[in-house]
Amino acid sequence: MTAVDDLMMRRALDLARLGTGYTRPNPLVGCVITHQGRIIGEGWHRQYGGPHAEVNALESVSEPALLPHSRVYVTLEPCSHHGKTPPCADLLIAKGIPEVVVCNLDPNPLVAGSGLAKLRAAGVQVETGVLEAEGRWLNRRFFTFQEQKRPYIVLKWAETADGFLSGRFYQPVQISGNLARMAVHQWRGEEHAILVGTRTALHDNPQLNVREWPGPAPIRIVIDKNLSLPPTHHLFDGSQPTLVYTYRQRATTGNLGYVKLSEADDLFPQIMDNLYRRNVQSVLVEGGPTVLNTLLADGLWDEIRVLRSVNHLGAGVAAPRLGLMGLHEQFPLGSDQVYVYLKNDGY
């Protein structure tokens, strides 16, 4: 890998990141086209169902005559099958691209090496693995979904300096500051779905939408085993797609869907399997201690984000304890501190 390869692939990864929240369940992909070390075109996958990164990059080139003498950098293996759009591998071949540099191979069985094989069979020089770790981290949701057959799971909670999630008897209290609240709304827009349990839905009556940051609203998920939540709560207002996981039978109406689960089987594996079959790529869990501690005990998580306030509460509902778990990252957010933990630090 040359210094130029590194620079151009980093630019492609930066472009790919611009699609965060909008391409799901498709991956984030960026593409840079160069001629003699100079960028002549670039693009990214902007939204699900829209043109892929390679298409947008090729269309941005003002001198198409340079394409047969160019070098293309793309963060994920060009697709080789017809989906919402035609195969990008075929397009690159048709444009006479002689060299393609790829960050990550596509784990999707519909591609999984066939895109590169098609390019090489047409005489295209292909290099792979450039900034591979950075690419896997960027698309960690996509890779987890494809490889583990479940959504990428982010556990998030806010706690006081003395370790409480809420007041006594789950009374809601303001814990985090304004910047932290904005960050949470940004995080919501980055994930495909957001999940809470019965107690959080009952006591907090959350809207679970994106209000304080630009971004798409996630699918709302609530666990309501016995359908005990008041129908007047925000979760049932029909304003965005909402799934209720329950042990009872109830018909789906409009944006509000009900999924009956088996009482004989563990709850969360059933939910994650159902979400996988629904093509939901990631879940932000904003639940209370029961939901959070269950997922922690089951090892059913990928990332944890803890917002810790400087304020003390003195008494209340205790936050989960992470023991000696290794810290991946810590940074300030206004008066709060954010602590990030990763289950797999090998991306």
Class (C level, CATH) for 3-144: alpha beta
Q: Is the pLDDT of residue 263 over 70?
A: yes
Residue-wise pLDDT tens digits, 321-344? 988 788 999 999 999 999 999 997
Q: 346 pLDDT band (50/70/90 cuts)?
A: low
CA terminus-to-terminus distance, the chain: 19
Q: If pLDDT is split at 50, 70 and 90, which confidence band does 249 have?
A: very high
d(CA 345, CA 342): 6
pLDDT, tens only, 214-246: 999 999 999 999 999 999 999 999 999 999 999
174 pLDDT tier (thresholds 50, 70, 90): confident
Contact partners, residue 107, CB within 8 Å, separation at least 6: 142, 143, 146, 147
Average pLDDT over every residue of 255-282: 96
Residue in the block written with tokens 């666990």: 223
Q: Is the pLDDT of residue 191 over 90?
A: yes
* CATH architecture of residue range(s) 149-342: 3-Layer(aba) Sandwich (3.40)
pLDDT tens for each residue of 115-163:
899 999 999 999 999 999 999 999 999 999 999 999 999 999 999 999 8
If one compares 169 and 87, the residue with the highest pLDDT of the two is 87
Give residue-wise pLDDT tens across range 26-73: 999 999 999 999 999 999 999 998 999 999 999 999 999 999 999 999
pLDDT average, residue stretch 294-311? 95
For 321, phi and psi rounded to 5 degrees? -105, 130
Q: Which three-class secondary structure state does DSSP give residue 286?
A: coil
Residue 246 confidence (pLDDT) = 97
pLDDT at 99: 97
Q: Both tokens of residue 312?
A: 């003390």
Share of the chain above pLDDT 70, in %: 98
Q: Where in the chain is the domain with CATH 3.40.430.10?
A: 149-342
229-251 b/e with 16+ CB inside 10 Å = b?
beeeeebbeeebebbbbbeeeee
Q: pLDDT at position 170, please?
A: 76
Mean pLDDT across the stretch 270-298?
95
Which residues carry out catalysis? 54
For the cut 90, the answer to whether the pLDDT of residue 84 exceeds it is: no
Residue 112 above 90 pLDDT?
Answer: no
CA–CA gap between residue 191 and residue 142 (Å, rounded): 11
**Which residues in the chain are classed under CATH 3.40.140.10?**
3-144
In the predicted structure, residue 288 carries a pLDDT above the cut 80: yes
Cβ distance 174 to 309 under 8 Å? Answer: no
